[in-house]
């Protein structure tokens, strides 16, 4: 029997308990260490220098004294410590500390993910990875967030955290001027309803940290040394030989005890004035703290004791606390909270000239590799699940397969860190991320090859005997063979591009029938050719194609032309469209004004043209016509600085293949202190308003705002998957396969920032090597769609996913009968997995969890030391299905949709049972009781729960923006969780 989990998020809103009327300020001192998974130093460097010591030291000090507490946030470091450093005794101590609630895991994801340029799929993945480890190891499920450092706050994150079972959400970095207003009005706490469709069903109490953010104030009025960081600053690569770390605080003594207490109490009182209750969250810690926690606690212990002994004098009480204790006190207060809708806190500025909008485009290559790895992981997960369903005893070792998947899961999760995919890390850390992603993808490609070419004999390492894959372009054989996999749960017809070395080719499918194909010289190459092949593949299925080459030269049509307009074939409206490349020239001298760096975009003026001459040609074809434009900085230049290749679908047999225009770009290397944009100008009257996506989850309207300073940079927004402009009748949209910055600076314009190369002389940037001297050539891809608002609304969600999850192409050496899901062991044909057009198969994977889905049983297993020793469970599958549309977005597609899971998943086997789970799979929905919060809008009747209610016949109804994770059992087949 094989289980299937379908995870659901459930929200229950409960009113708070009355305030106890305490007059003194109750202070919750929360010990923590902010440990970036990357940034300046690699993960291994950080583990060696301080991160491992944090957990070893904290474990020892918490065990020494019962009143001490600590919160653990970044799970990657903890997992590495647990698996490679911690002794059996330390593990037993941690188990006891967790049981006592004195060591509390917050967020629980692999990292503290960025909120601006991360994709929904990857946010869920990294959260699931961490939650699975914690539940399997300790039986705990994190219930609070600590998003203190991401550069701005997305409205998607609180929705996901609510779906995961969180009671409250904590953020910090929002616009400096907005935070100041919220402090003055005591508005730093509110109930956030991040999704306009889910509303109060997924609302979550949100706390914004005050102007001191997550670090303890370092200023001491009685000393020129740091304030409350007695262990000093972490030292790389090895500890100082004399044991004296930089910037160690003045020790607490009898002589300065009162001065320390006075300083702390005044800071607490200052903070208390900004909040509505008598509870103050006082974060004790900062970056890389508590690596020598004995020094920390030995100094803070007497300080807290002294303040409590003189609480009448100071007007405050203090206590070590976890985050849950603080939020419990807030929840029990008799306060009615304001409500915030689906607005986010992007972009983020910390000063008038410091808009953190540059990182939307920093390190474009890394951003592309991260999304490529995510897409490849998504495809491999579903293919392995199908393999397990069809051939549970097949020749591919399941342990080896899971090892390959887990390695890429780890790498994709890791790079979601807020100094990872953002591009704000040092060069060596960027190289680390790319290396981990590349190695993970190579392992998954081995798995894909093994699965595609079943049945094959495998050696113990999992390598295929007699199979040596190579790219199609490297083959000099008269024919080439490829396997193409569709990772989406929709039937698709699309064209793929294979680079080959022959000028003529004919393509046949696996039944020997010719398929439409077109070949032409590759741009910028005299030795390779682009072969476009039209493929039609069912949902989660793959097909094999044979390419037969000849040496005969192909005669193509090449003409000169310019892109000047696009015509909507349905409405017959022609929209003027011109495109060019521009550059913002930015300052690199801190003595001359604001600078741009990894994080910040600070322009000196408008973007100027990046070229003086343009070479263009059009290559026509039966499948696509390609417009090639080459942009030269100077008339005399032989090498172009920019290029754009626009592919317009021509269709075949009277049927249009797709609804979009594909554009790929070549940008760079840039000149120093240049920020490169693609500017698309139209005659649409959009009033400089743009719509951009929040993490690929929902679209937000961005009205142009005018500021006294820095208006250009502060009107830039992240585009993760999509952005568009529109007037009353027409919408022009772009879809991206990696994040970019996007803006509308003029009427009818949409500009996308593609690349940045920067250097500055700011001491802080130079010291950490964060100047972004990126000399790479980047090659992103955008899809462009033009149409009426109604037509575009029905297309854009699917188009974004079709770009994100394009067919996977795997070259193979020779024709061979490949395993296909349509050919199970009994020989009967199996239908593809196909969902309705408004539903998306977000996840189909074998997570390999070892824990019992029964919470009582899981705790019992852990108490008996059984956790993680029984091995992974290959009979449990994680399935998430998501409704793509908002309420009212489309008259048909926005309606609730009912599907029968047994019928939809019949291509995987007979469905026997389903468990309704939380977003990360750790909660049974029937056990998940989230806190209710009293709000000014009250609680409406109905909608208190977000449940899908799988019926006895496995039917389930999904309403707009609801996503469904679950668990079930099938007969000899894997299904989903």
Which residues are catalytic, by number? 149
The two tokens of residue 227 are: 């304030």
> What is residue 876's DSSP assignment?
E
Q: 3-state secondary structure string, 433-495?
A: HHHHHHHHHHHHHHHHHHHHCCCCCECCCCCECCCCCCCHHHCCCCEEEEEEECCCCCCEEEE
- With H, G, I as helix, E, B as strand and everything else as coil, classify residue 55: helix
The two tokens of residue 48 are: 């060696």
The two tokens of residue 45 are: 């460097």
The two tokens of residue 147 are: 């998003």
> What Rg, from alpha-carbon coordinates, does the chain have?
29
The two tokens of residue 855 are: 């919470």
Q: 3-state secondary structure string, 218-280?
A: CCCCCCCCCCCCCCCCCCCCCCCCCCCCCCCCCCCCCCCHHHHHHHHHHHHHHHHCCCCCCEE
Distance of alpha carbon 362 from alpha carbon 377, whole angstroms: 24
Distance of alpha carbon 31 from alpha carbon 287, whole angstroms: 12
Left, alpha or beta for 661 (phi > 0: left; psi -120 to 50: alpha)? beta
Task: Give me the numbers of helices (H) and strands (E) for the chain, helices first please.
Answer: 19, 43
The two tokens of residue 546 are: 């044979």
- With H, G, I as helix, E, B as strand and everything else as coil, classify residue 890: coil
The two tokens of residue 573 are: 């409206």
Please state the separation of Cα 908 from the chain's center in Å: 28
Angle between helices 120-138 and 398-414 (to 10 degrees): 120
Return the half-sphere exposure (C-beta side, CA atoms, 13 A cut-off) of residue 443.
21
Distance of alpha carbon 169 from alpha carbon 159, whole angstroms: 10
Unique residue bearing structure tokens 């749960």: 489
Angle between helices 364-390 and 398-414 (to 10 degrees): 150
Buried b (16+ CB within 10 A) or exposed e, 433-464: bbebbeebbebbbbbbbbbbbbebebeeebeb
Q: Is 959 exposed, middle or buried (0-12, 13-18, 19+ CB in 10 A)?
A: middle
Type and span of the H or E element at 913: strand 910-917
The pair phi, psi for residue 272, each rounded to 5°, is -60, -30
Give the angle 13-15-20 at the CA atoms, nearest 5°. 150
Query: Taking the CB of residue 60, how many other CB atoms lie within 10 A of it?
Result: 13
Angle between helices 293-309 and 52-64 (to 10 degrees): 40
- Report whether 812 contacts 482 (CB < 8 A): yes
Residue 682's DSSP bridge partners are 577
Distance of alpha carbon 319 from alpha carbon 63, whole angstroms: 17
Left, alpha or beta for 86 (phi > 0: left; psi -120 to 50: alpha)? beta
- Beta-carbon contacts of 27 under 8 Å, excluding residues fewer than 6 positions away, are 268, 279, 280, 282, 316, 317, 318, 319
Return the half-sphere exposure (C-beta side, CA atoms, 13 A cut-off) of residue 131.
24
The two tokens of residue 891 are: 């008259």
């Amino acid at each position: 029997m094989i289980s299937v989990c379908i995870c659901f998020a459930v929200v229950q809103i409960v009113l708070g308990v009355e305030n106890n009327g305490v007059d003194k300020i109750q202070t919750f001192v929360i010990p923590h260490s902010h440990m970036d998974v990357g940034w300046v130093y690699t993960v291994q460097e950080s583990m060696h220098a301080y991160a491992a010591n944090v957990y070893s030291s904290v474990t020892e000090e918490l065990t020494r004294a019962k009143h001490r507490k600590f919160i653990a946030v970044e799970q990657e470091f903890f997992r590495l410590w647990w698996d490679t450093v911690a002794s059996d005794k330390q593990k037993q101590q941690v188990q006891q500390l967790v049981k006592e609630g004195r060591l509390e895991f917050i967020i629980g994801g692999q990292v503290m993910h960025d909120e601006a340029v991360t994709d929904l799929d990857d946010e869920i993945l990294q959260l699931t990875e961490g939650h699975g480890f914690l539940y399997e190891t300790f039986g705990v499920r994190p219930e609070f967030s600590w998003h203190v450092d991401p550069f701005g706050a997305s409205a998607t994150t609180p929705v996901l955290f609510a779906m995961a079972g969180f009671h409250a959400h904590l953020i910090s970095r929002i616009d400096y001027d907005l935070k100041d207003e919220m402090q003055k009005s005591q508005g730093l706490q509110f109930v956030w309803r991040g999704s306009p469709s889910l509303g109060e069903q997924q609302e979550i109490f949100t706390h914004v940290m005050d102007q001191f953010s997550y670090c303890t104030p370092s200023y001491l009025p009685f000393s020129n040394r740091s304030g409350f960081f007695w262990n000093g600053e972490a030292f790389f690569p090895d500890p100082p030989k004399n044991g004296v770390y930089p910037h160690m605080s003045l020790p607490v003594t009898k002589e300065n005890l009162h001065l320390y207490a006075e300083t702390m109490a005044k800071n607490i009182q200052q903070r208390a004035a900004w909040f509505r209750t008598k509870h103050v969250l006082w974060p004790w810690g900062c970056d890389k703290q508590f690596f020598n926690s004995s020094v920390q606690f030995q100094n803070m212990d007497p300080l807290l004791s002294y303040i409590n002994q003189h609480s009448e004098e100071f007007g405050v009480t203090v206590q070590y606390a976890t985050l849950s204790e603080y939020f419990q006190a807030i929840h029990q207060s008799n306060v009615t909270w304001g409500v915030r809708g689906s607005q986010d806190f992007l972009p983020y500025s910390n000063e008038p000239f410091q808009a953190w909008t540059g990182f939307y485009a920093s390190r474009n290559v890394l951003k592309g590799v991260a999304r490529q790895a995510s897409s490849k992981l998504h495809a491999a997960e579903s293919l392995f699940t199908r393999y397990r369903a069809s051939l549970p005893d097949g020749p591919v070792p399941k342990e080896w397969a899971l090892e390959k998947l887990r390695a890429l899961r780890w790498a994709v999760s890791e790079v979601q860190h807020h100094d990872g995919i953002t591009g704000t890390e040092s060069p060596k850390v960027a190289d680390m991320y790319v290396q981990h992603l590349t190695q993970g993808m190579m392992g998954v490609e081995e798995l894909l090859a093994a699965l595609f070419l079943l049945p094959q004999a495998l050696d113990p390492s999992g390598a295929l005997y007699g199979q040596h894959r190579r790219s199609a372009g490297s083959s000099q054989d008269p024919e080439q063979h490829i396997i193409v996999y569709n990772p989406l749960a929709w039937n698709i017809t699309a064209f793929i591009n294979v680079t080959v070395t022959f000028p003529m080719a004919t393509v046949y499918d696996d039944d020997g029938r010719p398929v439409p194909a077109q070949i032409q010289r590759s741009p910028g190459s005299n030795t390779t050719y682009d072969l476009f092949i039209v493929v039609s593949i069912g949902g989660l299925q793959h097909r094999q194609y044979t390419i037969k080459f000849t040496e005969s030269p192909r005669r193509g049509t090449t003409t000169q032309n310019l892109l000047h307009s696009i015509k909507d074939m349905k409405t017959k409206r022609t929209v003027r469209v011109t495109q060019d490349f521009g550059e913002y020239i930015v300052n690199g001298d801190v003595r001359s004004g604001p600078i741009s760096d990894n994080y910040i975009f600070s322009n000196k003026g408008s973007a100027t043209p990046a070229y003086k001459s343009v070479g263009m040609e059009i290559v026509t074809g039966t499948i696509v016509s390609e417009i090639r434009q080459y942009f030269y900085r100077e008339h005399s230049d032989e090498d172009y600085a920019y290029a754009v290749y626009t592919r317009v679908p021509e269709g075949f047999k009277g049927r249009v293949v797709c609804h979009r225009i594909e554009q790929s770009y070549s940008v760079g290397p840039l000149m120093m202190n240049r920020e490169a944009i693609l500017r698309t100008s139209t005659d649409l009257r959009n009033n400089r308003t743009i719509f951009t996506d929040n993490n690929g989850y929902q679209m937000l309207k961005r009205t142009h705002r005018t500021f006294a300073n820095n208006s250009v940079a502060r009107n830039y927004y992240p585009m993760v998957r999509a952005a568009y402009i529109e007037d009353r009748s027409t919408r022009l949209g772009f879809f991206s396969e990696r994040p970019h910055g996007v803006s509308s600076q003029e009427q009818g314009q949409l500009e996308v920032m593609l690349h940045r190369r920067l250097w500055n002389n700011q001491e802080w940037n130079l010291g950490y090597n964060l100047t972004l001297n990126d000399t790479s050539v980047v090659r992103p891809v955008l899809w462009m769609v033009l149409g009426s608002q109604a037509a575009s609304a029905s297309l854009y969600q699917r188009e974004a996913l079709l770009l994100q999850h394009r067919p996977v192409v795997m070259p193979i050496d020779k024709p061979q009968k490949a395993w296909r899901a349509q050919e199970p062991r009994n020989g009967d044909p199996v239908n593809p997995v196909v969902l309705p057009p408004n539903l998306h198969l977000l996840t189909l994977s074998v997570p390999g969890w070892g824990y019992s889905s029964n919470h009582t049983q899981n705790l019992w297993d852990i108490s008996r030391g059984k956790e993680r020793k029984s091995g992974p469970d290959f009979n449990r599958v994680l399935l998430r299905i998501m409704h793509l549309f908002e309420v009212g977005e489309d008259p048909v597609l926005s309606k609730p949709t009912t599907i029968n899971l047994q019928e939809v998943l019949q291509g995987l086997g007979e469905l026997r049972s389903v468990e309704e789970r939380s977003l990360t799979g750790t909660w049974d929905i029937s056990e998940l009781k989230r806190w209710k919060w009293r709000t000014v809008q009250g609680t409406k009747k109905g909608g208190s729960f977000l449940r899908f209610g799988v019926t006895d016949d496995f039917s389930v109804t999904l309403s707009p923006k609801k996503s469904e994770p679950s668990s079930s059992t099938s007969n000899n087949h894997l299904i989903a969780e």
